[in-house]
Amino acid sequence: MLNEQLYANAYNSSVAGFYFTSYEEYKTKSSKHFDPFGLPVEEYEIDHVDGDLNQLFNACNIDQCTLSVWFNEIETMDKSDQTELYFRCDNLGQDPQEAICDLNSDGSISAGSSLYYAYSYIEDSGILNTLPENIQRYFDFEAFARDLEYSGDITEFSYDGETYTATGF
């Protein structure tokens, strides 16, 4: 388990919120959280305070309704699944639960820029080898990568300080 610290900021302005690092801790503290009039505090805005997954937390729009998904599924995923989840939520607009169900179902994500993807694609496919050698040197990889992005065939994105290229989504 990671060491992500969250904060439950009460919508009731007469009470202070509380910090927590697990779903069980959130449930325990929220069940004992009362305002000055003895009424239970029921609604919170959940903020990511500290940890490595801030970018993913924000892309998933985690709130008190999706906290159990965050702690029980998302936080414990491996890096490649978290990267795909980030892409699906941030770029495709999926909610976290839908995105989790769709993980690894279609498309792929590879480390590297769209230009790197274009080089690899051309190299792996052998397309240039079908052209005369004197024409091969004029192939514009940057334009090809740009065209792939414009057509929606690939999407370059950054997550956790690294660049990735998504294809087939």
pLDDT tens readout for residues 36-92: 999 999 999 999 999 999 999 999 999 999 999 999 999 999 999 999 999 999 999
Rounded CA separation 116/127 (Å): 16
Looking at residue 138, what is its pLDDT? 93
pLDDT tens for each residue of 83-122: 999 999 999 999 999 999 999 999 999 999 999 999 999 9
Q: Contact, 81 vs 103, CB < 8 A?
A: yes
- Cα separation values, 91 from 44, 87, 99, 160, Å: 26, 5, 11, 15
| pLDDT confidence bin for 2, thresholds 50/70/90 | low
pLDDT band at 3 (very low <50, low <70, confident <90, very high): confident
Residue 1 has pLDDT above 90, yes or no: no
